Chains A and B, each alone.
Chain A
Amino acid sequence: MDCSRVELWLSDYMEASLSAEDAERVSKHLEECQSCSALLQEMQSVVSLCRSYPSFELNPQSIENILLRTSGRPRTRPFRELLRQYFIRPLLTPKLAVGATLATLFLIFMLDLMLPKLSITASSLSPMELVRLMDRGAQQLYGEGLRAYNKKNEWQAQFRRFKSNTLNNLRSIKEQIEVPVEGHKKTEEPPPRKDSAPKEKSSRLFLWPA
């Protein structure tokens, strides 16, 4: 069997689609012929290279264009893409990242100031200990709340006292002002009403001296 004949059958031999008799003849030739054997190996590597050839994704914008130019309906976007477009991408902008970091730091700082201090050690990280810790924290928080409530009531009482004192003082000042001075009788009744018509003179508008 010559090399040109074997070359014609190499693909079939590689894919095991030759008859048993022909496959045997090709095998025998390959054992004897170095170049045909090398060619078969190369062909196998070519086929595996072709099969591992990368495939590419079609640009979503192209799909959008196709749909708009055919059915006229825009592309249905998967949830993941919507999430990326409207939530993750805006979050990844530098301005928002800096703002979010500053807000988080501010929140931590405020919580640190406002919440009661709890001491946590590594040895206390058992479930029961954590529950106790949380309970203690809740109790402290409740205590702080009660104290704040009492304080509020106290301020309210103080304000009420201050308000009533001020009002009393004002009332007494008013009474003092309203006491009549001796020898200066205060006329209780208003002056008698003049029923007569006003004089003619007074009703005229004085424009020029007569």
Chain B
Amino acid sequence: MLSGDQKLVERCLQGDDAAWEVVVNSYGKRIYNLSYRYTNRRDEAEDLTQNILIRVYQNLRSYRSDAGSFQNWILRVARNLIIDHYRQARRFPQTGGSEELETMNIRDDKTPNPQRAAEQAEASRFLQDGLQALSPELKEAIILRDIEGIAYQDIAELLGVPEGTVKSRINRGRLELSKLLIKRRALLGMQM
């Protein structure tokens, strides 16, 4: 029996444009956010999202439901393209993202008033700067687990490494981030 995602893929392959639109609407936001976490730039993230979804459309026939969930397959395609993009750029951009956080249209239900929104933006900038200081491996682990909320097993499948390695990377990432933030807080003398 076909799962929901498998049925959706089948419909896409049969040329059902409405089914493809459902895929784009369902995964577009997630891919965009993932791209933004890596690139820290809105314009780059939008371009990457478009390229990723076009690649997904072109390679839909290569998806096999027995090899894992559709979400993981899409995330794997996304990650590969993001890493390609990173290799081409030869850097993670250091500027632009933090400033963008304040001006971007943040859809966060937990920020009902301007003061809380400002605090949220400040904390996000704090975290973003910390993430920039991590190695790409640890940063990726933190993004996937703590920001995107993906399960350990799925991350292991996505990265192609054992679950223990994923857990170890996440722990190291959290530790480094915590130490960096403690240091930074001591320097600035402010409370988060």
A11 lies within 8 A of B174 (CB): yes
Q: Which residues on the B side are within 8 Å of A73 (C-beta)?
A: 17, 21
Q: Which residues on the B side are within 8 Å of A46 (C-beta)?
A: 127, 130, 146, 174, 177-178, 181
For B27, the closest partner residue in chain A by CB is A58
A50-B127, A55-B29, A71-B20 known; A10+B174 contact, CB < 8 A = yes
In the bound complex, how far is the Cα of B45 from the Cα of A62, in angstroms?
11
B50 lies within 8 A of A51 (CB): no
B105 lies within 8 A of A57 (CB): yes
In the bound complex, how far is the Cα of B174 from the Cα of A42, in angstroms?
9
A49 lies within 8 A of B123 (CB): yes
B120 lies within 8 A of A12 (CB): no
In the bound complex, how far is the Cα of B111 from the Cα of A73, in angstroms?
36
In the bound complex, how far is the Cα of B108 from the Cα of A59, in angstroms?
16
Q: Which residues on the B side are within 8 Å of A39 (C-beta)?
A: 175, 178-179, 182
User: Is B49 interfacial (CB-CB < 8 Å)?
Assistant: yes
In the bound complex, how far is the Cα of B131 from the Cα of A53, in angstroms?
12
Interface string of A30-48 (1 = CB under 8 A from B): 0000000011001101110
A50-B147, A58-B32, A69-B54 known; A42+B182 contact, CB < 8 A = yes
How many of B's residues come within 8 Å of A, CB to CB? 47
Besides the contacts A56-B104, A76-B18, what 8 more A-B pairs have beta carbons closer than 8 Å? Answer: A11-B171, A53-B124, A53-B127, A54-B107, A55-B108, A56-B42, A58-B28, A72-B17
Which residues from chain B sit less than 8 Å from chain A, CB to CB?
17-18, 20-21, 24-25, 28-29, 32-33, 36, 42, 46, 49-50, 53-54, 57, 101, 104-108, 110-111, 120, 123-124, 126-127, 130, 142, 146-147, 149, 167, 170-171, 174-175, 177-179, 181-182, 192
Q: 28 pairs across A/B with beta carbons < 8 Å? A: A11-B171, A11-B174, A42-B182, A43-B174, A46-B146, A46-B177, A47-B174, A50-B147, A52-B110, A54-B101, A54-B106, A54-B111, A54-B124, A55-B29, A55-B108, A56-B32, A56-B33, A57-B105, A58-B28, A59-B46, A62-B28, A62-B46, A66-B54, A67-B24, A70-B57, A71-B17, A73-B21, A76-B18
Which residues from chain A sit less than 8 Å from chain B, CB to CB?
7-8, 10-12, 38-39, 42-43, 45-47, 49-59, 62-63, 65-67, 69-73, 75-76
